[in-house]
Structure formats: C-alpha cells, structure tokens
Structure 1
C-alpha cells in the first residue's frame, strides 16, 4: 500500500501543477485539449518511469534467509542436467564407472561420503570411512542390505540405524536409495553424513532415478549388441554347408583334370572363409566387402561355368565408405541361388553401388534376370512399400525367400534403427531386384 500511495500522490501533484500552470498562471489560459494532453503525457511518463514500489516491497517481504544447506541443494539441482550428460554409469555398473560416478556426485549431493554398491559388495566409496568401507568388500552397514531387501529408500538418522560393523565409524546419518533396472534392484546409491542432519533425500532419490535410467540404457545397449553379434554369427553360419559342399565337389572334380585350377580354387575358398570368420566389428570398408563378393563369385563361376555372369557397376566413391560386414555377399548369393541356379540357360547378376553425398546415403542394388519370385511369395515378404516384414513371411518358402534376408533386415534395424531401406521386387522383365539404402559412414 505504501508504494501505491506514493504513486497516487505523485499523479495528483502532476495534475495540480498542470492546472495551475495552464489555467491560473498562464495568460491567456491554454485551451482544454492541450491541457489534457500535457497532463496525460506527464502522468504516463511518471507511471512508466516510477520504480514499482509495490513489487519491490512485496518481493522483499517474501524473501527469507537461505541456509547453506539449501544453497548446496539448489546448486546440486542445477548440476543434475550436466551430470546426466557425463554420467560414467552409462557404460554399466562396473567398479571403475561407479568410482568416477561417486567422485562426480559427492560435491553435488551435500554428503560427506558417497557409495555405490551392487547387491553384494561395495563397488565404489568416496569420503571419510574409506579405510573400512573398501571397494570390492562386503557392505559394512546393515542399512544398505536392508535397502536392497526392501527395495525402498532408507533414511538413517543415527549410528544405530546405520549399523556399521566398525566401532567408531565417523558416519552418523545417511540416505540410501535402491538402483533399479526395470523392476529389479541391482544396487544402491548411498549418501552419508558425519553429523545428525540427514542428506537431502529428494535430491538423492532424483539422482538415483537418473542413475537407474542410465543403467537401463546400458543394459539395453548390451542386449542390442549381443543381438547384433548373434545375428552376425548366424549370418556367418549361413555361409551354408551346401555352398561349401558344392565348391568342394567342384574342386574334387577338377583335381585330376585341372590340378592348378583346383589349387587356385582352394586358395580362394580359404580366403573366403578367413574373411567371413575373422572379420572383427560390424563395419568394413566397401572395398573389402567388394573383394569378398568377387571371391565368392569366382568360386560360383567355377561351378556354374558360362551359365553365371556377373556385372559390376561400382561408383569409385563407394569404395572408401563403411558398410555392415557380410551384408553384400548374401544378397549376391541370394540372386545366384534363387535366380540363376533355377534357370536352365543361366543368367546375369548385376551389382550396382552408389553414394548420394547430398542425402548422405549409400545405395547397393543387386538384380538378376533369373526365374524371379512368385507374386504370392513377394506379397508375403513385402508390405505395400516393398520393405521386408516379419520372420514368418520370409521362412514360409525357404526355396524362394533367399539367404539371410530376414537376418540382414534385423541386423540393419539393430545398426541403423529406422534410418535404412531394404526392398525387394520383381520387375515385369523378370528376375528379382533387392535394393539397400543405408546412411553414409
């Protein structure tokens, strides 16, 4: 009210002065319109230029002293986002990651000591009491196992509740929160104090929730990696025995009549399997995959002779790009096995690869002029956009479904999410076309 009264008095004074200056002391007196305009201008200027005493006074009344603990909590809350971006536990619940996390969290959580455990032992401990709360040892307090057993936050306010096994332990109070992956409790985050005032519970629980989220993401990453590795191993296994037996039969048939050619085929076969088995990681340069494909084709041409022709149309820019390992050869093998092998006169397989620098994609196209694919099988394998669907559609007719197409689709999904396209079609001219578009690497 004090600020409003001052402002009202100022406005009244302005109008009194305007009236006296324009109507009493002026000779002749100013007309009414200029007088009103002058008064309004001065009033607006006073209101806009006058510091709001009302807001200032009420704002001061709402302020109260801020304790050092509240300052620490506020600082910790502001640091949560930064901590989330750099949290070492994103790599999983390991001793090294746990220790770096404790070192990062200790100044944020207003605790004298911070610990992270799994279900059985201390993974990391930073702060007073580190002489007996040792990393890799069993949990020394009874509160941490109780947190795991109950799956609920434990707030401890004295030494008896903390239950440290070592007499004279400096720690008195604590907030211990379970770490979860889904519904499973996999460990704890504990913040300890060497005084009776407990750490800020809400802040510790919020941080534990963030750590749990990071641990869930780490587990999903591991599961995704395992699934991708399994699919790659399955694809290696799908370099199937039939292909090996057929090539060995071809080599055996040439061993007597053409021993030099048989020896050369054996060398190529060893190179083929060495690359397939020993290639590490999930990506390789296109040039390596291209050489692998040509090795495979040379083995198949030894078996099919003039019935199999292969044409290559490779953009030189593609050679240095990185593509998923063992991704191109199965597409070519699919064309040979299910397109050309079933055609008495044989046929031609085309391998085309292009880079689109604007869209930042690599496109690989494998086509053949073989027997093609029955419309009903194609309809089962592809949806309205021509993209591959579920496993059951591909496996219903293995004689036409091709080698590892579903496996390839699942691997691509693991590696690229929805940032790839894999389509299969049968042109009117005959044969089958498989086209793959992946992000440029």
Structure 2
C-alpha cells in the first residue's frame, strides 16, 4: 500500500471515530499541514462516491463508485458484488477478478467479514503482487445486500479495520438510498390516492352542468367539455411529484371555470399572481384541493353569492399563497380539527381536504411549512401556505 493510501486510511478512520485527534489551536496565517490535506482529500473522495451510492446497489452505481472507493482505501484493487455476482471491479490486479464472486458468496452466506490469505488469491500473472484481501458485508436494515472487497499485497489489522469502516459508510449511503426509494414510493402512492380522491361529486356535477347546456347552448357545452378534459388531463396524468406553480394555477383556473358554470353568478373568483413566482416548484395537486374546499364548504354551503380569492405573492426566498372565501366560516377550534383530521369537513364525500395537503407540506418542507387556517363564524375562511423557492425536494421536478 502506498504512503498516500496509508494517510487516507488514517484520515478516514479518524473521521469515522476510530481515531479522533484533539483539535489544535492554529495561527490564522499558518497553512494546513499533511493531516489537514489528508482530511480534505478523504472528504472530497467520499463526497464524489456518495451520489452514486445514493442510487442504490446496481451495476451502474457500483461502477461509478468503485474507483473512488479504491482511491479512498489505497489498495491495489477493489470489488463490489451482490447476490447476482460481481457488480464492479477497479484495480490493476485483473487476474483476481474471477475470484471476487467466490469470495463474495462466502460473505453473503455467513454475513461476516472474510480475510483472503495464503494460496487462495495466488496467481501466475507476471508482476502481480496481490496476495490477500478483505471482504466485508454491505447491509441495509440488517440485511446483507452485497460485499465490498479490497485486495492488496499485505493484509494487516489496520486494513481490515479500515475496510470494515468504509463498508459501514457505504452501507449508510445504501440505507439513505433505501430511504429515498421508500420516500419516492410513498409519494407515488400519495399521488395515486390524490387522483382516486378527486371528488366524485365534482365530476358528476361538472358533467351534469355540461349536459344542461347541450340543448340550450351547444357552443357553451363544447367549451366546458374542453375545460373539463383539460382539468382531468392534468389531475389524472402520470405526474411527477412536483410541478410548476404556473401549471398548478392553470388547473385551479380550469376548476373554477367549471364551478362558475355550475353556480352561475353565485360564485365569483379572483386570481392574483406575481409573475416572478410562476416558475416556482410546488407539490403536485396542492392548490386545487384548497380551492375546492373553499367552494364546497364556503360558497356552496352558504347558499348565497360568494367569492373565492387566490393570491400568490413573492416573499423573497418563498412564495406565499392564500385561498380565501367569504362563506360561513367556522370556530377556530374546528379549523384546527380539520388540519389534524380529528374533525371531518361537513358532508365530506372523499375529497382530499385540508389535512392531506397539510401533511404533505410538513413531510416535504418541514414542520414550519404546514397550512395556516384563519376562520371565524360568519367571517369566511383563509388558508395560507408558504413554498420555499430553493429546497432539495424541488429537485424532483
């Protein structure tokens, strides 16, 4: 193993807690020493390998990560395998490549590290100095999903310990990949639930309204049918987790046009949007349920003329959105119950509701980004939410 490799091993061991040096006070003008350089290099290499590992244990991710892992370990060769065989190999000792799957099977069967010594790794290739190896299991949720193997001229105690710690770090990245995958599956399930929960009464009422115009105003019926198709194309499409605020507002506009055809002059609506926030990423179908709630439990329940106002403003690092109606309103304690799910909306027929949107926003952006409901009897209801413009979750768009 090269001198640089030993320095990297020591640095990685220190970062993982095997050796934790006491911080030393340095003069501000003094340049960092070899330890600082090794620490930086170790972190840099780990950072380069991490994105590939966060994709899970596949041929592609292993191929991208194995070169960085060999640099990190400083050994002559590194192999990554799973139950299906060798995923990736990096190193000069290609003559040992065919032995790696056999070594991996031993570890996969025992779920324990395995040291390859003696005659096992020997070969007749000229100039091959590899005479040993360390094979360590990679685990996710206690399950062995693969192996990490490092091959070199000498197998020392330090190498065994360091390969074990690197495997722990790789396993941690694979755990995060599993969490990411679980999160995506959860959000996909939520999307399917959202589509399934689109109020059947809205669909029925919209089609009934359109049918009422077929004889009296065929052109109006045709226009409404196009609006209904446009709304459903967006709401029922195979969507990603996020969309732009412009697309979400377009869906809201189509929904309100259909409801206006149903309620006539009883429903007035206003959309006021700051143009600079139209490109902001938002969770798919996050506004339409709030507007539907305002129409159904605000205007329709009041039995008189009412107005729904949607205001989207630019607030620097965030976009602020409010959905307001001038309907019957409710006591503050009932508003709180709507959010925590303890109080179902009156006449709820399976719609998405405020609680679903509130939970999604808290899961995606954090507890500080839940809905705020302001209401009082005979004073209407206002629902407010904030969307951060720059957030890691928005990268799913």
Superposed CA RMSD: 2.8
**What's the counterpart of residue 101 of structure 2?**
140
CA-CA distance at 1:436 after TM superposition: 0.7
Contact 2:134 2:155 in 1 (8 A): no
2:331 is the counterpart of 1:371:
no
CA-CA distance at 1:293 after TM superposition: 1.1
CA-CA distance at 1:150 after TM superposition: 2.5
CA deviation map 1:227-255 (0-9, x unaligned): 12222232222222221111111111221
CA deviation map 1:109-141 (0-9, x unaligned): 23222111123311111235646736xxx9632
1:81 to 39, 43, 55: 43
Which runs of 5 or more residues in structure 1 are unaligned? Answer: 1-67, 382-387
CA-CA distance at 1:403 after TM superposition: 3.1
CA deviation map 1:358-385 (0-9, x unaligned): xx1111111112122355532423xxxx
Structure with the bigger RCO (C-alpha within 8 Å, sep 6+) is 2
* TM-score, with length taken from structure 1: 0.73
Instruction: Indicate the structure (1 or 2) with the bigger Cα radius of gyration.
Output: 1
Total equivalences in the alignment: 356
2:109 is the counterpart of 1:149:
yes
Task: Provide the rounded CA distance (Å) in 2 between the counterparts of 1:108 and 1:318.
Answer: 44
Which runs of 5 or more residues in structure 2 are unaligned? Answer: 12-37, 391-397
2:385 is the counterpart of 1:424:
no
**What's the counterpart of residue 122 of structure 1?**
86
Task: Provide the rounded CA distance (Å) in 2 between the counterparts of 1:318 and 1:283.
Answer: 15
CA-CA distance at 1:428 after TM superposition: 5.2
**What's the counterpart of residue 90 of structure 1?**
54
Task: Provide the rounded CA distance (Å) in 2 between the counterparts of 1:268 and 1:250.
Answer: 12
SS of residue paired to 2:262: helix
Query: Using a 3 Å threshold, how does the CA distance of structure 1 residues 113 and 301 change in structure 2: closer, same or farther?
Result: same
1:433 to 372, 382, 397: 382
- Moved >6 Å (runs of 4+): 196-199
1:306 to 250, 265, 270: 265
**What's the counterpart of residue 200 of structure 2?**
241
2:76 is the counterpart of 1:112:
yes
Query: Using a 3 Å threshold, how does the CA distance of structure 1 residues 202 and 80 change in structure 2: closer, same or farther?
Result: farther
CA deviation map 1:48-99 (0-9, x unaligned): xxxxxxxxxxxxxxxxxxxx66653223333432222111212221112112
Task: Provide the rounded CA distance (Å) in 2 between the counterparts of 1:398 and 1:190.
Answer: 62
SS of residue paired to 2:302: coil
* TM-score, with length taken from structure 2: 0.80
